Amino acid sequence: MSETLSFFDQVNRNFDKAAAYTKHPRGLLEQIRTCNSVYHMAFPIEKDDGSIEVIHAWRAEHSQHKLPTKGGIRYDHRVNEDEVMALSALMTYKCAMVEVPFGGAKGGIRIDRRDYSEGELERITRRYTYELFRKGFIGPAIDVPAPDYGTSAKEMSWIADTYLALAQHDVNALGCVTGKPVSGGGVRGRTEATGRGVFFGIREACADAADMRALGLAPGIEGKRVVVQGLGNVGYYAARFFSEAGAVLVGLAEREGSIADPNGLDLEAVVAHRRATGSILGFPGALDLPDRTSALELECDILVPAALENQITEENAPRLRTKIVAEAANGPVTAGASEELYRRGVMIVPDMFLNAGGVTVSYFEWLKNLSHIRFGRMEKRFEERTNRRLLDVVQKLTGHSMTEEEIHDFARGASEEDLVNSGLEETMVTSYQKIREMRRRHGDVPDLRTAAFIVAIDMIAVTYGDLGIFP
């Protein structure tokens, strides 16, 4: 069957597949899958040369079963209404899956950021924020954006600054957006959160000896051959954490092309080469591949598509030579390609779980903004003093003396970044186990994606029941 479904239709196709395993009323299921609100805006901005350009942008709020809604903003020339609806739906299910109390949202501006100066990008971002504000599509209790493809902490700081100017009496105004610089109300650990979450999720999947045996793999990350598509924020950090855990990077892909080396690529050296030359191609000792999708077909144990949606389709899925597909991007594998890979016994660790590290740590940032206190500030020194007293007792009882450096290392209280990373790890580990248990409970559930959707649907249905909307 050829794929003609839109991105949003593909999300709903996966939803319907999972909903068939539940016993919720049809009306409730229809409410859960429907996109509640979509705002399409067109506004003018003045370019540096004095000309006027009309910019098209969107914000979709898929579900307000919990408030605020939450979702990133992407800058890309392919942004369209269907895409933001689909991504907002995935955010709804993702937040429910990892028990982050947000509804799903997503936004996008249809531009290629390479065509605009920094001043023009700032004017576009600030005007977009104003348009969201005047229609009630942004606020710490309403809808909280975050970075996505083509955006970073810089754009989030522009959004926060604009919102603060518009909502001068909102004491929680900094909570209107996450992914901000730490100096501007952000949280330590947010930059690498999504990539770190990808690593935690795959590490947990690879720890299941039975599942690895079925794939012909040994448990653990060490020694596994990994290919990463996309060296943006998500792909770079995922690749870094896999390398640090002993995995072998045999292929990397970016927009300009792909490179491969069966003996392993030095990630930092590749990044330095790209910084110097503008391309990963031509990296010493690596083989240049025909195009940026060629790396997807390299033989490996773990394939990490960390770029955009619809990268693995019915057309190229039969040529994939991997045991595990780790969906670091949103919707990188189409519905038809998923079925083809499942038939071949490939494990797909789904996006709605695997890239939830970003929204999880965004949740921590939002909590920090609302509580107006840095994580660890209250307890860090108390923990250190308590730990030092315990170490003093241990030294007396054992007769073994430790150096001051050893005592400092052992007694150190948790910093904000320690607590954030610990909370992220707990979220990814427990969420994977929920998915795995759901799949085992329903012996006829064919894959982890369906199991994850069932978990999410059940969580959202409980919320509607608690609100008294459905029996």
Q: Which residues are catalytic?
A: 106
The full 3-state SS of the chain, as one line of letters, equals CCCCCCHHHHHHHHHHHHHCCCCCCHHHHHHHHCCCEEEEEEEEEECCCCCEEEEEEEEEECCCCCCCEEEEEEECCCCCHHHHHHHHHHHHHHHHHCCCCCEEEEEEECCCHHHCCHHHHHHHHHHHHHHHHHCCCCECCCEEEEECCCCCHHHHHHHHHHHHHHCCCCCCHHHHCCCCCHHHCCCCCCCCHHHHHHHHHHHHHHCCHHHHHHHCCCCCCCCCEEEEECCCHHHHHHHHHHHHCCCEEEEEEECCEEEECCCCCCHHHHHHHHHHHCCCCCCCCCEEECCCCHHHHCECCEEEECCCCCCECCCCHHHCECCEEECCCCCCECHHHHHHHHHCCCEEECHHHHCCHHHHHHHHHHHHHHHCCCCCCCCHHHHHHHHHHHHHHHHHHHCCCCCHHHHHHHHCCCCHHHHHHHHHHHHHHHHHHHHHHHHHHCCCCCCHHHHHHHHHHHHHHHHHHHCCCCC
Beta-sheet strand order (sheet of 69-75): 37-46, 52-61, 103-109, 69-75, 143-147
Q: Which residues pair with 42 in a beta bridge?
A: 56
Task: Identify any residues that bridge with 16 across adjacent strands, giving them in sequence order.
Answer: none
Cα–Cα distance for residue pair 433/279, rounded to 1 Å: 39
- From the list 20, 42, 121, the residue with the least C-alpha distance to 450 is 20
Contacts of 126 (CB under 8 A, 6+ apart): 158, 159, 161, 162
